[in-house]
Amino acid sequence: MGTVSAADAPAISVLTGDALAAAVKGNLDNDLTLQKFNLKVKGKEADVTIEGSVDEGEQMAHAGNVAEQVKGVRYVFNNIVPKN
């Protein structure tokens, strides 16, 4: 049995910047609770910023949780404003 060097290992693709923002946006838009708010997402390296408004603080927190679940997200800047 041979050994596998790091050079032989398959590359692991990690999304960053705009691609990471697009992945987060897709998850937010697919979430039944959040899709009606059309939240905006920007990405820089492994960090994402979510902006927009929601009805309640719980929805704001939920959006942050959804964003954190995307592989590659290091930090979420949650700039969502709840109306209530």
Q: What is the CATH number of the domain that holds 39?
A: 3.30.1340
pLDDT in tens, 9-67: 455 567 889 999 999 999 999 999 999 999 999 999 999 999 999 999 999 999 999 99
AA identity, residue 59:
Q
Q: How many residues does the chain have?
A: 84
23 located within any domain: yes
26 located within any domain: yes
Q: What's residue 60's pLDDT?
A: 97
β-pair type (75-82, 47-54): parallel
- Residue range(s) defining the domain that contains residue 30: 17-82
Distance CA 43, CA 77 (A): 10
7 located within any domain: no
24 located within any domain: yes
Q: What's residue 74's pLDDT?
A: 96
